[in-house]
Structure 1
Amino acid sequence: PEEFAAERLLVIHTDRSGDISKSMVEDARLVAREVDRPDSPVNAIVSVLMLREGWDVQNVTVVVGLRPYNAKANILPEQTIGRGLRRMFRDIAVDYTERVDIIGNKGFLSFVDQLEKEEDYALETFELGKDKLEIVTIAFDPDKLEMDISVPVLSPILQRKKTLAEEIAALDVRRFPGVPVLPVRAGDDAARKFTYEGRDIVTLEKLIQREYTIPEPQTAQEVISYYAKRIASDVKLPAQFASLVPKIREFLEEVAFGKKVDIETPEMVRAIATNVAQYVTVTSFAKALRGRLIEELTPALVQAGRLLSETPPFPFARDTFAARKTVFNLVAVENKFETRFAHFLEDANDVARFAKLPSRFGFTIDYVDAQGNLRYYEPDFVAVLLDGTHCLAETKGREDPDVKFKDRAAVIWCENATMLTGTIWRYLKVPQKEFEKLEPSDFADLGALVID
């Protein structure tokens, strides 16, 4: 509690008109942008201003809906929840599960119920007055050290290249697959104009309306420079700007329009600056470069094993249960399926010991996602069978597009761990629907679940 009290908590009040002084607004916006920095004196912000223009925050963790929410359009509750759904750590490589707490009156929560039906997804609920929040400490139990599990530490087998200068220089832009021929025509005049409308978020009354015109580029170099920045940003290699410029010029002059063109003429400057030309150029280069971003390395054994008992104690406020076969005092689970699977491991006759792998233990496996980005994921469970086989198990309800890449990376990790340590390691994905159909009693029964 002391971490969210006194100067650690910023409460932004408004007067009856809903306004605060300009100086306080700017100060508060600065605090909101920097609240997640380690040196921030403020740990939490309470405010009614988060839906206002200029509050483009992505670190909302608690949403409290108190208005009537009786408008048919449902714009306000959608915006309210939407602020909480913005990912706080969208750029980190580790698959971190973010959570937002939604609190509200009957009108607000009815909208949440409708979202559950439309998305076919059940949110976890907590009813104030009936449910009690309990925070426990998860730590190793010194009386159960015989249930400890050692996990080897392997060197990374994937590494993001620091430069793509050589790969970019070697690109043959004439061999880019599936590039459509761009039309030699100027951009749409209407597309260069847009109308801005400012409305009151509660009454939807129009407060301001203005029309803006986007200025046209004057030279091909302006367009090429912009595309180079976009491509470098897309592949997350901003230092490649100089290498990209000549290749983009070659692509636009030799390939994009199906014939050689002079992109320096006013007509062609307008043609290469269209939205379609931008999309084709940026997409073509990004696709060609993503497959070249990561290089494979030879695995090595960094440490023969790290014991789960070395995990620092950590607080946990979700479901737990006591188990004999784990070195921890409690099994900390994230959802109902994990709870069921953990009970299965506890009861399976061929499982000697197991653990739900805590994030604090720091075990991750590197993989390349569908977009070609180097990322890391944390397997759910580790188990040791009676015959000495060590297993990583990943429980899955819904599957996202990156699951197959994680599966492949985990299989490779197990193969490398087996080769380097002499201990047999296996990986198993456990889809919820298949697990419920199978109704296994022993771990060996899970052999019927085959990774696609």
Structure 2
Amino acid sequence: KTWKLDNDYFDYSHFLRQASKAVSTRGETSILSAKQAEIAGIIDDYVSDYCFGEYIDFSSPENYPVLNYQPVFDHIIETISRTIIKLIEGYKFEVKKGVWGKLSDVPRIMVRESKSVETERSIYPKNGYQPRGGGFERDFLQDVLNNSSDVLAFAKLDRRHKLEITYRDETGILRKYEVDFIVKTPDKMYLVETKADKDIDNPNVAVKVQAATAWCEQASLVPPEGMEQPRGWEYLILSEGLYKDNKGFSFEALLPLCRGLRDNIVAKAKSQLFLF
């Protein structure tokens, strides 16, 4: 992203005002506008002590013109923005103590006849899949979940189930994430997301992965009182390419592959954040 820089009048104070404003807002959406003064202080420390590998006094007129160079300005804004998001990462995953619910609380779900799969291991006779580009979901439903002996029950989650994971996206905006599938095995409950290869590297996917993982960690602490359910929960993500490369694998056989993909997504996202 290129940030617009007003060049009519430029000195170090002007730079700090422009930079802190750019960090605290994204387009038309304010993120941390109430903290603009504190952000200006962070930018001042970073630019003066770290950005150029040595201390530079930008109050001197001969030094601050470099900050008016657009690529330098963009780099500073992006670095500070990413770092602040990282520092408030714990705030991004707002996991609250929950209670167990039942799929049967939603006795019926509406699906399109032409975009659904007959299922034997679900309380719903048919489970739907996306009307556009849903071939991957369809294959996962009928070839893996429906045919794996290690799967006791599953369902394609519907909005009426109200299993929503609250998180903040890469810009800090509060969102709700609805995972694709819930799967029950003898030992554990799983939330499973199927994802097209083209979307795997989307920064927001990494945030969702971390939010869902945190949700499962907290859900595992809630005992299923009065229910015959495994207590542990785990979040998995399966890409279309990974599925096709291992077609014919059971759900249990796919577990380590899904875990590896999940962990790689998180590790890659964290390595892209520049901390000072």
TM-score range for the pair, normalised by the shorter chain length: 0.5 to 0.7
**Aligned pair 1:381/2:181, yes or no?**
yes
The match for 1:419 is: 221
Amino acid in the other structure paired with 1:339: R
Aligned partners of 1:349, 1:250: CA distance in 2, in Å?
A: 58
The match for 2:34 is: 239
| Structure with the largest fraction of strand | 1
- Please, what TM-score do these two structures have when normalized by structure 1? 0.44
**Aligned pair 1:274/2:69, yes or no?**
yes
Please list, as runs of the form range in 1=range in 2, the aligned pairs for 1:172-211 lying within 5 A after superposition.
none
Give aligned pairs, total. Answer: 238
The match for 2:257 is: 449
The match for 2:14 is: 222
Please list, as runs of the form range in 1=range in 2, the aligned pairs for 1:67-146 lying within 5 A after superposition.
none
Aligned partners of 1:434, 1:281: CA distance in 2, in Å?
A: 37
Structure 2 CA distance for partners of 1:315 and 1:355, relative to 1, 3 Å:
closer
**Aligned pair 1:400/2:208, yes or no?**
no
| Structure with the largest fraction of helix | 2
Aligned partners of 1:352, 1:329: CA distance in 2, in Å?
A: 15
Amino acid in the other structure paired with 1:281: I
Q: Note the residue ranges of structure 2 that are not aligned, 5 or more in a row.
A: 225-230, 261-276
The match for 1:148 is: none
SS of the aligned residue for 2:9 comes to coil
| CA apart distance, 1:314 | 5.3
Amino acid in the other structure paired with 2:129: V
Structure 2 CA distance for partners of 1:408 and 1:284, relative to 1, 3 Å:
closer
Amino acid in the other structure paired with 2:84: L
SS of the aligned residue for 2:34 comes to helix
| CA apart distance, 1:317 | 8.8
Q: Note the residue ranges of structure 1 that are not aligned, 5 or more in a row.
A: 1-191, 193-213
**Aligned pair 1:342/2:141, yes or no?**
yes
Structure 2 CA distance for partners of 1:415 and 1:260, relative to 1, 3 Å:
closer
Structure 2 CA distance for partners of 1:441 and 1:217, relative to 1, 3 Å:
closer
Amino acid in the other structure paired with 2:254: L
Structure 2 CA distance for partners of 1:309 and 1:357, relative to 1, 3 Å:
same
Aligned partners of 2:206, 2:51: CA distance in 1, in Å?
A: 34
Aligned partners of 1:262, 1:350: CA distance in 2, in Å?
A: 64
**Aligned pair 1:305/2:104, yes or no?**
no
SS of the aligned residue for 2:87 comes to coil
Structure 2 CA distance for partners of 1:293 and 1:317, relative to 1, 3 Å:
farther
- Please, what TM-score do these two structures have when normalized by structure 2? 0.66
Aligned partners of 1:380, 1:264: CA distance in 2, in Å?
A: 56
Amino acid in the other structure paired with 1:400: D
SS of the aligned residue for 1:342 comes to helix
Q: Conserved in 2, the CA contact under 8 Å of 1:365 and 1:413?
A: yes
The match for 1:207 is: none
Residue deviations 1:186-214, cap 9 Å, x none?
xxxxxx9xxxxxxxxxxxxxxxxxxxxx7
Residue deviations 1:211-252, cap 9 Å, x none?
xxx752154433321111001115921111122334444555
The match for 2:243 is: 435
Larger gyration radius, structure 1 or structure 2: 1
The match for 1:173 is: none
Q: Conserved in 2, the CA contact under 8 Å of 1:217 and 1:223?
A: no
Q: Conserved in 1, the CA contact under 8 Å of 2:111 and 2:126?
A: no
The match for 1:295 is: 90
Residue deviations 1:110-137, cap 9 Å, x none?
xxxxxxxxxxxxxxxxxxxxxxxxxxxx
